[in-house]
């Protein structure tokens, strides 16, 4: 099948530096790569920045960013946040929702009728629609309205939302999916059958970089060795677990080790926790390069972008054993260890602290792995192959 | 502390699966020997519960943590003073205050220990009861499947 000439990329938010989200970043990068190859690419997003309020904060306008036309549309104002939260809470409690209730959950999530109108009006232009992540009403509405043209980038996690019947139907009805990893595709199949696993594992390219491993600590006045975390700070990502574990680790082993946390969200105010806030790309790379390890206790990841960046910096990782994707990345790269509980964490972190030779060997393997599997050349081969296939 | 694991780096790098396996073996032995019986670990594991809820092996681990943490010893600390000036005097003063409050604190402490002990016993009995039920149901399912000529193929959820 020939490559489509024109593609719409749909996501609830456009990542413009203020907005942070792995799935949105992935879609933006894929869109820019497609545009760089001469395809006509339009990124369609809402005017929202905050994924809790979905308030229309950005103007509904059209811009051209890195050869991609970026169009923003207002979020529907008739959504009922109370009903949405009620349905979402019921899902989280493990209750079984009827189809009508699931539809209410999705309808009162983020949606934009004007965005859908645009897709209908430009139906001749857009040969394919690349949409994600899976759990937002907007993506479901687009996939339901244009299943024959939609390719999902689901960014699927093993969570209650993914088990909903309507989500399964969406995965089965579209042309196919661009999965980030093999465990993500296996999860789709396990939850919703083989039809839901139609697609290709693509992922995202990681730019190679060299960073000064001493610069971050010197600038921030950090004298102790540190482990690094970057991303949203919330229970779902495992940051409370990380601060608790490190607190006990320091008390039990008597080792002075700090935790540097970059990103947004609340953080336990403990003396050994260094809140780095939002970091520029350069600072983030320097912080990664100087760390003893990158620690990612989240179990809900579909790719692990910062994990791959830590590998690029030649820094090993410590991840939660219950996170299938991150554990898979660590196992196949040879760049990380995984822990079930605190005793594993203590033993593994002590090992990394005691054995710089081991850290170096793991870091080198990890770096080579990213070069091999996540260079943009490798990812583009998979991406264009997928677009020809699906 | 990790010298007993004995990890070597081969010419082609490291085998992380083997490292994790060795660490797990060593850690499991240490857990069985009570080396991680520490109330601080039990407290830190509270945020790990949700991630490991499906793994019955960990239910046993948490119950062990609870058992280790349940009977608090309020005399298990040394009265100290961080400030160098007047430190001996301040330590004596703190000890005096502690001995004055002891009779009342001990009452609260013994009651709390009683509640903690009852809670752990309750949890253990619930755990045993359901584990027994699950074992019986699994045996029954296996028996029924045997009669039907083997287990059916796995069906997708949803």
Report chain B residues whose CB lies below 8 A from the CB of A196: 156
**Crossing angle, helix A137-145 and helix A113-121, to 10 degrees?**
30
Closest Cα in chain B to A197: B156
Choose among A202, A249, A196: nearest CA to A227: A249
Q: Say if B66 is an interface residue toward chain A (CB within 8 Å).
A: no
Query: pLDDT tens for residues A229-281?
Result: 998 887 778 888 999 999 999 999 999 999 999 987 777 788 899 998 888 88
**Which of A320, A336, A347 is closest, CB to CB, to B23?**
A347
Beta bridge pairs of residue A44 = A10, A71
pLDDT value for B33:
86
Choose among A223, A182, A175: nearest CA to A7: A175
Residue A140 has pLDDT above 90, yes or no: yes
Ranges in chain B, pLDDT < 50: 3, 154-158
SS3 content of chain A, % helix, strand, coil (to 5): 45, 15, 40
Q: Say if B153 is an interface residue toward chain A (CB within 8 Å).
A: no
ipTM of the assembly? 0.82
Beta bridge pairs of residue A129 = A8, A150
Residue to mutate among B4, B7, B9, B20, with most A CBs inside 10 A, is B20
Residue A135 has pLDDT above 80, yes or no: yes
Query: pLDDT tens for residues A301-310?
Result: 888 899 999 9
Average per-residue pLDDT for chain A: 92
Which residues 20-39 of chain B have a CB within 8 Å of chain A? 20, 23-24, 26-27, 30-31, 36, 38
Residue A151 has pLDDT above 60, yes or no: yes
pLDDT value for B66:
75
How would DSSP label each residue in A191-259?
Answer: HH-GGGG-EEE-----------TTHHHHHHT--S-EEEEES--SGGGTHHHHHHHHHHHHHHH----EE
pLDDT value for A332:
94
As a whole-number percent, the residues of chain A with pLDDT over 90 amount to: 80
pLDDT value for A18:
60
Choose among A4, A29, A25: nearest CA to A13: A25
pLDDT value for B56:
60
**Which of B16, B41, B51 is closest, CB to CB, to A248?**
B41
Q: Which of A220 and B128 is assigned the larger pLDDT?
A: A220
Task: Give the start-to-end residue ranges of the domains of chain B.
Answer: 13-55, 70-151
Among A81-85, A152-156, A164-168, B103-107, the minimum mean pLDDT is found in B103-107
Mean pLDDT of A141-164: 94
Query: pLDDT tens for residues A15-66?
Result: 886 656 788 989 999 999 999 999 999 999 999 988 888 999 999 999 999 9
Domains of chain A and CATH, by start: 6-205+375-389 (3.40.50.2000), 215-373 (3.40.50.2000)
pLDDT value for B156:
43
pLDDT value for B155:
44
Report chain B residues whose CB lies below 8 A from the CB of A193: 156, 158
Report chain A residues whose CB lies below 8 A from the CB of B38: 248, 252
Which residues 294-333 of chain A have a CB within 8 Å of chain B? 299, 320, 322, 330-331
Report chain A residues whose CB lies below 8 A from the CB of B58: 340-341
pLDDT value for B12:
66
CA distance B100 to chain A (A): 30
pLDDT value for A256:
94
Closest Cα in chain A to B154: A190
Among A132-136, A165-169, B85-89, the minimum mean pLDDT is found in B85-89
Cis peptide before B122 (omega within 30 of 0): no
Among A48-57, A112-121, A365-374, B1-10, the minimum mean pLDDT is found in B1-10
Among A113-122, A316-325, B69-78, B148-157, the minimum mean pLDDT is found in B148-157
Kindly state the tokens that stand for A224: 């102790």
As a whole-number percent, the residues of chain A with pLDDT over 70 amount to: 99
Residue to mutate among B41, B43, B54, B59, with most A CBs inside 10 A, is B41
A 10 A CB-CB count for A358 gives 19
pLDDT value for B158:
36
pLDDT value for B46:
75
């Amino acid at each position: 099948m020939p490559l489509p000439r024109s593609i719409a990329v749909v996501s609830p938010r456009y990542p413009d530096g203020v907005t942070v989200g792995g799935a949105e970043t992935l879609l933006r990068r894929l869109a820019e790569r497609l545009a760089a190859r001469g395809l006509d690419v339009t990124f369609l997003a809402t005017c929202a920045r905050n994924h809790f309020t979905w308030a229309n904060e950005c103007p509904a306008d059209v811009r051209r960013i890195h050869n991609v036309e970026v169009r923003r549309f207002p979020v529907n104002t008739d959504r009922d946040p109370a009903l949405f939260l009620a349905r979402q809470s019921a899902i989280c409690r493990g209750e079984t929702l009827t189809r009508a209730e699931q539809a209410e959950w999705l309808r009162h999530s983020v949606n934009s009728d004007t965005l859908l109108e645009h897709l209908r009006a430009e139906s001749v232009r857009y040969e394919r629609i690349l949409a994600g992540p899976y759990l937002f009403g907007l993506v479901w509405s687009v996939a339901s309205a244009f299943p024959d043209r939609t390719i999902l980038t689901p960014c699927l996690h093993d969570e209650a939302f993914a088990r909903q019947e309507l989500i399964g139907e969406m995965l089965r009805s579209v042309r196919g999916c661009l999965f980030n990893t093999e465990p993500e595709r296996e999860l789709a199949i396990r939850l919703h059958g083989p039809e839901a696993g139609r697609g290709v594992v693509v992922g995202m390219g990681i730019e190679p970089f060299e960073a000064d491993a001493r610069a971050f600590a010197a600038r921030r006045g950090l004298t102790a060795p540190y482990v690094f975390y970057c991303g949203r700070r919330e229970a779902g990502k495992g940051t409370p677990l990380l601060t608790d574990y490190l607190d006990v680790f320091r008390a039990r082993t008597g080792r002075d080790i700090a935790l540097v946390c970059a990103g947004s969200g609340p953080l336990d105010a403990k003396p050994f926790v260094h809140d780095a806030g939002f970091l520029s790309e350069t600072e983030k790379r320097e912080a990664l390069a100087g760390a003893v390890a990158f620690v990612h206790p989240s179990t809900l990841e579909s790719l692990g972008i910062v994990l791959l960046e830590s590998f690029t910096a030649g820094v090993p990782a410590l991840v939660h054993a219950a996170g299938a994707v991150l554990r898979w990345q660590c196992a196949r790269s040879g760049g990380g260890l995984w822990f079930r509980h605190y005793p594993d964490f203590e033993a593994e972190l002590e090992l990394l602290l005691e054995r710089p030779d081991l850290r170096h060997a793991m870091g080198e393997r990890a770096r080579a792995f990213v070069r091999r599997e996540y260079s943009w050349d490798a990812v583009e081969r998979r991406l264009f192959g997928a677009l020809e296939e699906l | 502390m990790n010298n007993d694991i004995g990890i070597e780096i081969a010419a082609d790098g490291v085998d992380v699966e083997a490292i994790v396996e060795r660490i797990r073996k060593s850690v499991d032995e240490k857990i069985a020997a009570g080396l991680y019986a520490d109330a601080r670990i039990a407290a830190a594991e509270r945020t790990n519960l949700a991630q490991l809820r499906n793994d019955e092996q960990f239910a046993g681990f948490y119950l062990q943590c609870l058992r280790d943490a349940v009977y608090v010893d309020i005399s298990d600390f040394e009265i100290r003073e961080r400030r160098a000036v007047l430190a001996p005097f301040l330590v004596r003063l703190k000890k005096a205050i502690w001995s004055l409050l002891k009779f009342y604190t001990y009452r609260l402490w013994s009651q709390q220990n009683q509640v903690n002990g009852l809670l752990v016993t309750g949890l253990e009995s619930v755990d045993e009861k359901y584990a027994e039920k699950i074992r019986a149901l699994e045996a029954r399912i296996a028996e029924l499947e045997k009669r039907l000529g083997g287990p059916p193929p796995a069906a997708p959820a949803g």
